Structure 1
Amino acid sequence: MSAFAGRAGFVATESGPAAHFGNPLGEQRLLARGRAVVELGLGVVTVTGPDRLSWLNSITSQLLTGLAAGVSTETLVLDQSGRVEHAARVVDDGSVAWLLTEPADAAPLAAWLDSMRFMLRVEVADRSADFATIGWFGESAPFASTDLPETPVAEWVDPWASVTPGGWGYADQEAHPASDWTLRIAVVTPGTAGAIAASDEPVAGLLAYEALRIAAWRPSLSDVDERTIPHELDWLRSAVHLSKGCYRGQ
């Protein structure tokens, strides 16, 4: 159940978070201006253990070895033909690698990762039921962190605004609609999500977020079918490091 279900005008999506609160276009404007938050309802998978980053580096598309604590990135699981199977937003806090994915993919991703552990010192868990994911645009959250019962357990900053090291972009940076894309996502406890929902902060639904995502050409696993390769969605920009093996067997 959504923490925002008590807000006036709440209309739920099939997965639980709000589709809108009665005014999708108005919500979209507030969200784009950094004046509203959106409950994204993402899946949350954690990887712990001293080998977590080198192990994830060896089986996914992004260069993750040596990823500094608090630095956000994105990675893909590709099959032997380079087709997209899973996608995850990644941030490591120094002891836990937080992987945020679409809600329907959390359990399959966790199961696949668990099947690939072998002898390395890693533990995988689907923690989707334990946390909520709150998004906004801009460097500062619309809500005051001092009003929250707990600080977010992790915060992910979307790298989509520019081509990441080792990636590749097909469009001129100046012409790319992602140039002002400033999405941030906080992973919070249900209690903290409830405190945000109970505040007076403006909120937006997923219809508003999806409109902004599509306008920025920002890919999502929801855009993927069984034949999709990263190049088709411009995902080399943020989720693939071309100086390392990117898919199984490479």
Structure 2
Amino acid sequence: MSAVPVAALDPTDPDAGAVAHYGDPAREQRVLDTAAGLVDRSHRGVLAIPGADRLGWLHSLTTQHLTGLAPMTGSELLVLSPHGHVEHHATLTDDGTATWLDTGDAPGLLGFLERMRFLMRVEPAEVTADWALLSIVGPQTDEALISLGVGPLLPPDLLAVPEAKFATGSVPSRPTVVYSAAALADGGWARRMAYGADLLVPRQTVPEITDALGLPPAGIWAFEALRVAARRPRAGFETDHRTLPAEVGWTGPAVHLEKGCYRGQETIARVHHLGRPPRKLVLLHLDGITTDELPARHTPITLEGSDRPVGFVGTAARHYELGTIALAVVKQNLTPDSVLHVGPSTAAIDPEA
């Protein structure tokens, strides 16, 4: 079983620090989908924010309601531009003394947070060099957590998104999604997610944790293929400079629609109360006939009979059951009957919402 690094295939890939696969990507996907496997995502950036003001400070800067976040729970948040466009996404966990953010752009998010410190009692810092993120993926996640002495953990608690023009007080004063977590014996924590669980561990303990779990390893290709099939967006992949949270489904887990002022809040409220956003996240099925190469990230999508782009590809993958698929952001008025083109390939929108 030989690990194939992403960097050996494409050193410019955002996942260049990860393993692409261990010899059989389709088998690895099947393991993650039907049992449980371990994905090393230690190339993902990690920020630590200790300090007494950390939760109130993050509450004021981001889209999430965080003032009452309980120790050993987590959630998701966004940092928006003044016009409401997504700039950063992070998943967070608070351990009672520090808030930990894992994100795809640690330097960029840290730079924003450092500019916003003012006189607050917070000390944000990037700690990626010392801490590694591992993901247990699959329906047997609870059994794996039990082997570490921290499971099972409660599944994610996600609030329903209120209807447009909802009454004041309709949204509880709590995070819109709550992830349960538990401390690990040798430091760090385990956090229950919809796809399994994330483990944040001291980097030097990764071999020890891996041995203790005894799970088959799976590469980032398998993780990403299942993410695409589950329609979970990823910042920088299914987003561009004008992405609104509602376009990619982040209003539910990452945006609290009834909290105090934050940058971009006016746009969030206007889009939610006036109706559909201009674009939407969809799952595409590509024909795979004219080429077996996956389309590059942000490849334009066109409608048959026109050269004008109607969207872009975010992440494309070869799924072990669905074939060649891709997450894409397209114009709101497109339907499953629309005949689309992605480079030389014909594509169709999956009819399931």
TM-score by length of 2: 0.58
Specify which structure has the higher proportion of helix: 1
Q: Given the alignment of the two structures, is residue 217 of structure 1 paired with residue 203 of structure 2, yes or no?
A: no
Aligned runs of 1:65-214 on 2, under 5 Å?
65-102=67-104, 105-137=105-137, 138-141=141-144, 144-145=147-148, 151-158=186-193, 181-197=194-210, 200-214=214-228
Q: Which runs of 5+ in 1 are unaligned?
A: 1-7, 159-180
CA deviation string 1:16-35 (max 9, x = no partner): 22110011111111112342
SS at match of 1:141: helix
After TM superposition, give the deviation of residue 242 of structure 1 in Å: 0.4
Higher relative contact order (CA 8 A, sep 6+): 1
**Are the aligned partners of 1:143 and 1:201 in contact in 2 as well (CA < 8 Å)?**
no
Q: Using the aligned pairs only, state the percent identity.
A: 41
After TM superposition, give the deviation of residue 201 of structure 1 in Å: 2.7
Q: 1:223 to 1:136 in 2, by over 3 A?
A: same
After TM superposition, give the deviation of residue 150 of structure 1 in Å: 5.1
After TM superposition, give the deviation of residue 119 of structure 1 in Å: 0.8
Q: Name the aligned partner's letter for residue 36 of structure 1.
A: G
CA distance in structure 2 between the aligned counterparts of 1:207 and 1:84, rounded to whole angstroms? 25
CA deviation string 1:143-170 (max 9, x = no partner): 9327xx9535022333xxxxxxxxxxxx
Specify which structure has the higher proportion of strand: 2
After TM superposition, give the deviation of residue 114 of structure 1 in Å: 0.9
Q: 1:155 to 1:246 in 2, by over 3 A?
A: farther
CA distance in structure 2 between the aligned counterparts of 1:23 and 1:144, rounded to whole angstroms? 26
CA distance in structure 1 between the aligned counterparts of 2:28 and 2:187, rounded to whole angstroms? 24
Structure ID, larger Rg: 2
**Are the aligned partners of 2:83 and 2:264 in contact in 1 as well (CA < 8 Å)?**
no
Q: How many pairs were matched up?
A: 217
Q: Which runs of 5+ in 2 are unaligned?
A: 8-15, 150-183, 266-353
Q: 1:246 to 1:211 in 2, by over 3 A?
A: farther
**Are the aligned partners of 1:62 and 1:246 in contact in 2 as well (CA < 8 Å)?**
no
CA distance in structure 2 between the aligned counterparts of 1:157 and 1:184, rounded to whole angstroms? 4
After TM superposition, give the deviation of residue 44 of structure 1 in Å: 0.5
After TM superposition, give the deviation of residue 247 of structure 1 in Å: 3.9
1:178 corresponds in structure 2 to none
TM-score by length of 1: 0.81
SS at match of 1:25: helix
SS at match of 1:118: coil
Q: CA RMSD in A?
A: 2.0
**Are the aligned partners of 2:129 and 2:203 in contact in 1 as well (CA < 8 Å)?**
no
CA distance in structure 1 between the aligned counterparts of 2:218 and 2:201, rounded to whole angstroms? 17
**Are the aligned partners of 1:145 and 1:151 in contact in 2 as well (CA < 8 Å)?**
no
CA deviation string 1:110-151 (max 9, x = no partner): 1110110001111100001111111013334379327xx953
